[in-house]
Each structure stands twice: as structure tokens, then as C-alpha cells.
Amino acid sequence: MSEDAQMKLRLPPELKDQIEERARDNKRTMNGEIVHIIENAITSESAQYFSWQRFSSMSEANCVDQLNQYLRENPEAKVQSVSIVNTGKIFSLYVFIRAKRPKRLL
């Protein structure tokens, strides 16, 4: 008996046909082809990563400086959205970032 996790997967008929054809062309089972596609998607250099980054300081300017520093260190990162929270004592930027492979996450 296999130690691999098992799961039920629902596919639109057109996608199932495409996977069957691809599996046949690559001389794999459908399961093998699906695993191959998922592994490539996860390990690919072009895989997209999304993360929330928090930049906090006593001042808005320092938060913006932190964000600019992060973007200089991670030139591939693209800002998707920004939420601003000001508690009166701490100013925070919550930044949703998309990148291929971020060098570092805060």
C-alpha cells in the first residue's frame, strides 16, 4: 500500500481531456502527470509568492523608508495593496506583496 496521501479531485471535462493527452504524450499515468505539473508549479522560478509585510514605526516616514528598503532588496517584489494603521503611538503599513522568490520576508 502506498504511503502517499490520497485525495479526490474534481476536474472540468476539458481539463481532464488535456491532462489525459499530456500524460499519454509524456508516457505517464494521469496521476503522475498531475503530480509532475504541481511539482513544477511549486518549484518553478516563475512561481508567484504572496505575503503580508508589516512595517511599523513611530512615524509614517520611517515606515515608508522601511518599505523602500525592502523593495530595493527585493526588486522583483510588486506591491499589490497597502493598509495603513495609526494607533496614535505606532504607525504601521501592512503591505500585500507578490514576488517570484522573495530574498527575505520580515
CA distance 40 to 2: 22
Task: Return the higher-pLDDT residue of 29 and 49.
Answer: 29
Q: Is residue 81 classed as helix, strand or coil in its secondary structure?
A: strand
Residue 8, amino acid: K
CA distance 5 to 12: 22
Residue spans of the domains in the chain: they are 13-43, 49-99
CA distance 47 to 82: 22
Question: What confidence tens digit (pLDDT) does each residue in 40-92 have?
Answer: 777 665 566 777 888 888 888 898 899 899 889 888 788 888 888 888 888 88
The pLDDT of residue 78 = 85
The pLDDT of residue 105 = 47
The pLDDT of residue 42 = 72
